[in-house]
Amino acid sequence: MRIVVCVKQVPAINEVSIDPETKRLKREGVESVMNPFDLYALEVALRMREQVGGSVIALSMGPKQAMRTVREAIAVGADSGVLLSDRAVAGSDTWATSYAIASTVRHLGNVDLVICGKQAVDGDTAQVGPGIAAHLRWPQVTYVSHVSAVSNTALTLARMHEEGSTVLEVTLPAVLTVVKGINQPRVPTLVSVLASRGADVPVLSAADIGADPERLGLNGSPTRVVKTGPPPPRAADTVILDGPARDAARRIVHELRMQSLV
């Protein structure tokens, strides 16, 4: 099975804040990491490869610095990587981004499966995975929480939703987005990290993947981020339950039940 895993370089979420003036994420001086959800997607792909054979390709779109994330994916276990980096894709919204990634998947050829994290932690849209499926005209399964059967032609998966989960089968080729907790991502070793540094990772341009320039970047983006802002501060309310511990425990359980929290 030939699997593409989409990996995105994002700011470390514990270091991110929003500029009060511009209302944009302050990225300067913030450590860049692989989108945490993508680690789960990568682990799903690696386990599938271990089951049925094949190869895993890590694909990222972004500036040259995103090469670090591609190499990290190779260190974790991907067989190869590719970076789509071109000024033409700068400013792409989720639709243009998914078009660019879908075009890269077509360019790579013979891909059976694309796996993404359920969303990126910097945009939180959860739209790129489904967008890739739409552009490729492939079936998609989002919020995958369990993989129960893998073959070279179909997968049996559980899909998480508000009421629980649904088990379904999807034929390949297909696109998946996976949730946190579907597995425990493996940790790279020193050997694999050192090997990943010497891996030959092609950097592709929009022309290389045969993408229509009008469908990339701002030109190809039907949406614009007009404004972002921090969430309203949570109201802090401290209640001190004094008295014997047993009574205090009983009262806190009562309070939580009254608020339907337990």
Partner 1 sequence: MSTQVLEKQFHVEILSPRQKAENLEADLERFATRYTQAIAGGDVVCIPDNPLGKLAFQGTELIRELGLPAAPGQVSVHINTFHTKQNLDEVLGEAVDLGIDNVLVISGDGSERLPKLRAQDLGMDAAGVTSVELVQYVHREYAGAFSVGVAFNPYEPQEHEWEKLQRKVDAGADFITTQPIIGRHECIGRLQALGLPVVVEAWMSKKLHLLSDCVGYKISEDTPYDPWENLIALRNAYPECSVYLALLGFKTQLPQLAQLKEDMG
- Measured from the CB atom, the residue of 28 and 31 that comes closer to partner 1 is 31
Among 75, 62, 181, 172, residue whose Cα is nearest residue 118: 181
Alpha carbon 218 to chain centroid, angstroms: 22
Residue 46 CB, shortest distance to partner 1, in Å, is 14
8 Å CB contact between 85 and 100:
no
- Measured from the CB atom, the residue of 166 and 189 that comes closer to partner 1 is 189
Residue 243 CB, shortest distance to partner 1, in Å, is 21
Residue 7 CB, shortest distance to partner 1, in Å, is 15
- Measured from the CB atom, the residue of 47 and 107 that comes closer to partner 1 is 47
Residue 181 CB, shortest distance to partner 1, in Å, is 11
CA dist 48 and 3 (Å) reads: 9
- Measured from the CB atom, the residue of 36 and 139 that comes closer to partner 1 is 36
Alpha carbon 175 to chain centroid, angstroms: 12
Q: Tell me the C-alpha to C-alpha distance, in Å, between residue 180 and each of 40, 45, 73, 153.
A: 6, 14, 17, 25
Residue type, 205: S
Residues interacting with partner 1, by CB under 8 A? 31, 33, 36, 39, 184-191, 193-194, 197
- Measured from the CB atom, the residue of 158 and 193 that comes closer to partner 1 is 193
CA dist 57 and 195 (Å) reads: 16
Residue 30 CB, shortest distance to partner 1, in Å, is 13
